[in-house]
Amino acid sequence: MKKTLAFIVVIVLSLLIILELNNNDLFPKFGDVDLTQRVSYRYVTKNLDFPVIFGETQNPESGPANIITSIIVDYRSFDTLGEVSVLFISSFGVAFLLGSGHIVKRLDLNLKPNFMLRVGAKPLFAIILMTGVYITLHGHLTPGGGFPGGAMIASSILLLYLADQQFRAKIKGFKLLESISGTLYVAIGLIGLIFANYFLRNFLPTGTVGNLFSSGIIPIIYVLVGLKVGSEISGIVDSFLTTEEPI
Amino acid sequence: MTLIEITKIILAILLLLISFLAVNEKKIIKSVIYLSALSMLTVVSFVLMRAPDAAVTEAVIGSGLVTSLFIFTLLSVNKEEKK
């Protein structure tokens, strides 16, 4: 009876959503949108009259070849600062609930890592770490960026935790790295506020679209975000896998 | 209908089916594995919808980190219950 009722509620709600979104002026069909009437048109053309060409266009308004990066880290960089602080608050909460400054040791989960995991973890750690660093560094050219790159760095640390029952990362170093990169992010924003009149404005020359060293402050910010996310998620993993020493 | 459209329809049905199984499974560990499979299929659907950024993030966080954190929590809870 309960399940039938839930099923009927779900059907009615989905019918309502579909009927509301069909024939709605604000929600046109896929491909029918006139992009020139939208704000995103400016993000795609980078405020130029001629089309952007990979490897040739010089000094556009926003440098990245990846449009999503130019929105996330350039036009809407303040939102990214908010996202990073949300992640910081969540990692702070996890550390507050699960870990503490007392003597801590690894949680004994009765997981015996077998031979393949123990031997294969070290080369795989190097490969995953390098992939994370690559994705973070090339965030303005290829899909990805600071968040997935940082999460990959954290998952390589997680692999080390899985392979060795006694392993613990240097969490104090991670915390230092996290606070330094967060402070530098805000400092770059303040430099933009002082020299270019807007918080987090791109004050460096943007260069050629498609080069590794291009688009001003965006690669710097993405590297900082990658370091911050990686160290924060590594701290969360460490908090989940350790326990306080009973006195 | 092209091959990609057929793939999309099969993917959508699989997504619905696996999310239903994840909700209705009695054992929590199996439910976590279904959730991991769900986010792996979501990655494929993101790639088909041409959103590689979202796909990379979902692959790392959804099916990697979150699943492992769930499993660690389950293992430690089971250990506490046995005491």
Q: Which of A111, A148, A158 sits opposite B57 (nearest CB)?
A: A148
Please name the residue of chain A whose CA is at the shortest distance from the CA of residue B78: A109
pLDDT in tens, A113-168: 889 988 999 999 999 999 999 999 998 888 888 899 999 999 999 999 888 888 88
Instruction: Name chain B contacts of A152, Cβ cutoff 8 Å.
Output: 60
CB contact under 8 A, A236 and B53: no
Model pTM? 0.86
Q: Which long-range contacts (CB under 8 A, 24 or more apart) does A85-93 make?
A: A87/A228, A87/A229, A87/A232, A87/A233, A88/A178, A88/A182, A88/A228, A88/A232, A90/A236, A91/A232, A91/A233, A91/A235, A91/A236
Q: Which residue of B has its CA nearest to A241?
A: B72
Q: Is the Cα dihedral A146, A62, A217, A80 positive or negative?
A: negative
- Tell if the CB–CB gap between A236 and B68 is shorter than 8 Å: no
Cβ-based interface (< 8 Å): residues of B facing A:
52-53, 55-57, 59-61, 64-65, 68-69, 72-73, 75-76, 79
Cβ contact A143–B72 (<8 Å): no
Q: Which residues pair with A244 in a beta bridge?
A: A104
Given this model, what pLDDT does residue B39 score?
Answer: 93
User: pLDDT per residue over A28-57, tens digit each?
Assistant: 877 788 888 888 888 888 877 788 888 888
At A131 the pLDDT is 93
Model confidence at A101, pLDDT cuts 50, 70, 90, reads: low
Higher pLDDT, A24 or A86: A86
Query: Given an 8 Å threshold on Cβ–Cβ distance, is A155 in contact with B60?
Result: yes
Residue-averaged pLDDT of chain A: 87
For A197-230, write each residue's pLDDT tens digit. 888 888 888 888 888 888 888 899 999 999 999 9
- State which residue of chain A sits closest to B74, comparing Cα positions: A109
